[in-house]
Amino acid sequence: MAAHHHEHGHDPSVAHHFESAEQQRQSTKLGMWVFLATEILFFGGLFVAYTVYRVNHPEVFVFGAYFLDTALGALNTVVLIFSSFTIAWAVRAAQLGQLRLLRWLIIATMACAFVFMGVKYVEYSAKWKHGLLWAGSYNPHLEHGDEPAAGHGEAEAPSSTTGAPEAGAPADPDRSTIAPAAEGPHGLAAPAVAADPHAMPVEPANARVFFSIYFMMTGLHGIHVLAGIAAMLWLLRCLGRGDFDGGRFTKVDMVALYWHVVDIIWIYLFLLLYLID
Amino acid sequence: MATGPDRSNYLTTGRGVLSWLFTLDHKRIGVMYLVAITTSFFLGGVFALLVRTELLTPGQTIMTADAYNKMFTLHGAVMIFLFIIPGIPAALGNFVLPLMLGAKDVALPRLNLTSFWFWMIGAVFALVSIIVGAVDTGWTFYTPYSTTTGTAVISMTLGVFILGFSSIFTGLNFIVTIHKMRPEGMTWFRMPLFLWGLYSTAIIQVLATPVLGITLLLLVAERALGIGIFDPTLGGDPVLFQHFFWFYSHPAVYIMILPAMGVISELVSVFSGKHIFGYRFIAWSSIAIALLSFLVWGHHMFTSGQSGITNMIFSALTFSVAIPSAVKVFNWLATMYKGSIRLAAPMLYVLSFLFLFAIGGLTGLFLGALSTDIHLHDTYFVVAHFHYVMFGGTVIAFLGGLHYWWPKMFGRMYSERWAQLAALLVFVGFNLTFFTQFVMGSHGMPRRYYNYVEEFTTLHQASTVGSYVLALGFFIMAGYLLHSLVRGAPAPANPWGSATLEWETTSPPPAGNFDVELLAGDPYDLDALRYDPGVGGWVRKDPRSILVAAGGAG
């Protein structure tokens, strides 16, 4: 729009087809909210898949969550909540024209995003090392005492013979291997953890589905974190260009809204994936 | 063009391919979309003619069974994702929506261009899949077949994934534009009904398409990595794919039909010379259809093992969609009642629409009824129903809208005589092609089959001949429309006598759309216009009544 000449003595930061800066800001904001609604629905598909499988096979989730590192997940949750605070403050700083502060707040938010991705890298590599991958590549091999989830003490290597066919085996249309829903008042199979609450549960059939869902959900979320980092780099460029002079804050506001949604989704992921007991 | 050679318009402002590919002008983006989707329509049409030709005789006629599976898949995928979903909103809607608002552009012009580029990238992926081995899954990509077939499913589904974003961006843009850019005097219930159609469409585009996005991403991850969510051998559930797919794809058929209904609402009033009847009912029924569309996906899965109670609920909700649809049809008929109907080409398409959509809609109730669906599902009856709604409804309305706005888009009139002939051929050809399929389907001819028993030969051949008549109609249409671009008479600003704002600017409009700020009144107040033989078109009796600067008469 910068290419257009501006009639009617328009403010140069207002595109030619808008009447006023306020109309432009309102339009951008509504557009962003609608976009965030599409993001929620995009993740919504995965949340539905999660719900369907968890209701039908709760034992798979109890087993899978045992291998997620709650401490690292909690650390990431704290990091993201803190970054939500810094980006919200950044919006305020932009409104008040505190541009130096704005720069540091954007950098702080980005730093949080990098910490998050770093922690995620540590978690993913542990999963990779132990073969705790999505269904098609699921091949758990835990050595004694080399078990990722801290605080679970003496762990036995889980039995990897689940009765499920090998990964990559051709589909047999005549034989479904969907495990029947477990029965019982809570839909739970016979509880594997009897005496020692820290002992590793026995691996149920199709435990691999948990890791499929885990990697899809956290992976897609991670891509959104990377997009957030890109958005904040863009904000720094806009800042250098003088886009935020005179208290203009719409762009910071939009990125902040996006970032809050990324945070909220993570909070749900943390609750739903890590805190299963 | 109409107002003299010195007047520049959006077609002449900026020259060269790049000035088009990087334009932010909604009119140019609309025209690029129009070229893109009509090209796709041609491609999908060729696939359809190959399918019909193969079915001239039982057994092999011109291609192998495998090639046939690819042909009907490509016909469906290209027509649905490349043509009919973007069709009316992205091509006609993009051009008309800001003009109807008296605005200079959509609210987010760069997003609009991004949408077009995403369409192009998605189309490239789809074309690549056609070149590297095509797809033979049917356009529905059902697992587990789609995860095990050797054809180019990843490329096609990635293409559809990207096309989905194109659709989301268009819908998002329209929602924001309609909310924030209506002119003075245009309350929600003074909007032209085409905008209500686009608005309700946009709601579905924005809320349903992301679910298709994640579904296709899971499908791609399934094939590429073995993620296993839909694969029973890895503990996944293939029926979940069907739920996900139809959660988008049923609302998607309303993405296709709602803007078409909006077009019909405009045309029926103008060519009946009467104020639209039951404005609020038509407007609300669009919203009602959009909301109900999210609650009926299970009717595609009556035979998938859903519980009886689920089937009953989905069946009842499906029936309820008939109510707002019928509300619209009755209001259109009441608009025509005692009107002075002009049988110009756009009105011929309106009449075709009313006839064909009524059949398409009512046969939808046969399929929504549980007992008859068991008999009819996966037969040609479904194919015929779908085409009566999608072709008889959406495509016919698209053609009506195209003929209606063509003079505005290009500043030229087409040959009315040829246009009427083409409309007739399309109507006859369509009914011959698809009514026979209702008969075949009710006698048990399964859809998607390469071979058939000899008893069906006559009906299949009649259907194929019908498709040739249809193709002839389209070739004639392409001929006179292209001819009009070069030799057509210059179009006046308002050739039809319409009261909506897009007719207040020249044909074609200047790059900035309007020279003055407009005040919106009743969009169906046709009495405010009179025919001016000097201009060859319609003019306002009181030109000052729609000017903000003049204070307006309202």
Residue B452 inside a domain? The answer is no
- Bridge partners of B412? B490
Q: Which of residues 94-123 of B touch A (CB under 8 A)?
A: 98, 103-111
Backbone angles phi, psi at B531, to 5 degrees: -80, 130
Angstrom CA distances, A220 to A223, A226, B23, B143, B218, stand at: 5, 10, 33, 22, 11
Instruction: With CA atoms as reference, report the closest residue to A43 among A257, A273, A261.
Output: A261
Contact residues, chain B, for A52 at CB < 8 Å: 237, 240
Contact residues, chain A, for B172 at CB < 8 Å: 31, 34-35, 38
- Do A164 and B234 lie within an 8 Å CB cutoff? yes
B517 is written with which tokens? 């700020």
Span A8-50, pLDDT tens digits: 455 778 888 898 889 999 999 999 999 999 999 999 999 999 9
Residue B43 inside a domain? The answer is yes
Q: How many other C-beta atoms are found inside a 10 Å radius of the C-beta of residue B435?
A: 18
Domains of chain A in sequence order: 21-138+200-274 (1.20.120.80)
The CA distance from B262 to A155, in Å, is 65
Ranges under pLDDT 50 in chain A: 1-8, 144-171, 173, 182-189, 192-194
Ranges under pLDDT 50 in chain B: 1-6, 553-554
The CA distance from A77 to A262, in Å, is 11
Instruction: With CA atoms as reference, report the closest residue to B70 among B23, B145, B133.
Output: B133
Omega cis (within 30) before A170: no
Residue B489 inside a domain? The answer is no
- Do A135 and B234 lie within an 8 Å CB cutoff? yes
Query: Domain count of chain B?
Result: 1
The three-class DSSP label of residue A14 is coil
The CA distance from B303 to B297, in Å, is 13
Q: How far is A45 from chain B (nearest CA, A)?
A: 6
- pLDDT at residue number A143: 56
Residue B66 inside a domain? The answer is yes
- Do B227 and A134 lie within an 8 Å CB cutoff? yes
Span B202-253, pLDDT tens digits: 999 999 999 999 999 999 999 999 888 998 888 889 999 999 999 999 999 9
Instruction: Using CB atoms, pick whichever of B180, B207, B234 lies closest to residue A208.
Output: B234
DSSP state letters, A151-166: T--S-PPPP---SPPP
The CA distance from B468 to B46, in Å, is 11
3-state secondary structure B193-247: HHHHHHHHHHHHHHHHHHHHHHHHHHHHHHHHHCCCCCCHHHCCCHHHHHHHHHH
Q: Which of residues 23-82 of B touch A (CB under 8 A)?
A: 24
State the residue range of the domain holding B41: 28-274
- Do B226 and A15 lie within an 8 Å CB cutoff? no
R_g over Cα of chain A: 24
Nearest CA in chain B to A7: B512
The alpha carbon of residue B201 and the mean position of all alpha carbons in its chain are separated, in whole angstroms, by: 10
The CA distance from B187 to B182, in Å, is 8
- Do A43 and B168 lie within an 8 Å CB cutoff? no
CB of B218 less than 8 A from some CB of A? yes
- pLDDT at residue number B348: 98
Question: CB under 8 Å to B310, separation ≥6 — which residues?
Answer: B298
CA dihedral A223, A225, A231, A232 (to 10 degrees): -150
Span B60-91, pLDDT tens digits: 999 999 999 999 999 999 999 999 999 999 99
- Do A212 and B227 lie within an 8 Å CB cutoff? yes
- pLDDT at residue number A146: 47
Span B171-192, pLDDT tens digits: 999 999 999 999 999 999 999 9
CB pairs under 8 A between A and B: 150
CB of B175 less than 8 A from some CB of A? yes
Contact residues, chain A, for B203 at CB < 8 Å: none
Angstrom CA distances, B115 to A197, B15, B112, B190, stand at: 54, 22, 5, 28
Query: Which CATH number belongs to the domain containing residue B181 in this structure?
Result: 1.20.210.10
- Do A45 and B218 lie within an 8 Å CB cutoff? yes
Q: How far is B440 from chain A (nearest CA, A)?
A: 30
Instruction: With CA atoms as reference, report the closest residue to B444 among B384, B382, B379, B387.
Output: B379
DSSP secondary structure code for residue B294 in this structure:
G
DSSP state letters, B509-545: PPTTS-SS-B----TT-GGGEEEETTTTEEEESSGGG
Residue B508 inside a domain? The answer is no
Do residues B388 and B434 touch, judged by C-beta distance below 8 A?
yes
Span A106-125, pLDDT tens digits: 999 999 999 999 999 999 99
- pLDDT at residue number B552: 57
The CA distance from B312 to B317, in Å, is 9
Q: How far is B128 from chain A (nearest CA, A)?
A: 26
Residue B52 inside a domain? The answer is yes
Nearest CA in chain A to B98: A17
Do residues B506 and B6 touch, judged by C-beta distance below 8 A?
no
ipTM of the complex model: 0.92
Instruction: Using CB atoms, pick whichever of B177, B235, B240 lies closest to residue A164.
Output: B235
Instruction: Using CB atoms, pick whichever of B103, B226, B512 lies closest to residue A168.
Output: B226
Q: How far is B178 from chain A (nearest CA, A)?
A: 10
CB of B181 less than 8 A from some CB of A? yes
The CA distance from B196 to B103, in Å, is 17
Residue B442 inside a domain? The answer is no
B317 is written with which tokens? 């909700």
Instruction: Using CB atoms, pick whichever of A1, A18, A34 lies closest to residue B172.
Output: A34
The CA distance from B122 to B120, in Å, is 5
Instruction: Using CB atoms, pick whichever of B110, B176, B218 lies closest to residue A34.
Output: B176
- pLDDT at residue number A199: 63
- Report chain A's mean pLDDT, rounded to a whole number: 82
Q: How far is A131 from chain B (nearest CA, A)?
A: 14
The three-class DSSP label of residue B418 is helix
Find which of A16, A26, A29, A41 to mutate to test the B interface (most B CBs within 10 Å of its CB).
A41
Backbone angles phi, psi at A81, to 5 degrees: -65, -40
- pLDDT at residue number A135: 80
Do residues B253 and B318 touch, judged by C-beta distance below 8 A?
no
- Do A171 and B233 lie within an 8 Å CB cutoff? yes
Do residues B508 and B9 touch, judged by C-beta distance below 8 A?
yes
Where do runs of H (alpha helix) occur along B7-152? 17-21, 26-54, 65-77, 85-86, 94-100, 109-131, 145-148
Do residues B213 and A198 touch, judged by C-beta distance below 8 A?
no
Name the pTM for this structure: 0.90
Contact residues, chain A, for B215 at CB < 8 Å: 45
The H or E element that residue B506 is part of is none
Residue B21 inside a domain? The answer is no
Question: CB under 8 Å to B474, separation ≥6 — which residues?
Answer: B45, B422, B426
Q: Which of residues 506-535 of B touch A (CB under 8 A)?
A: 512
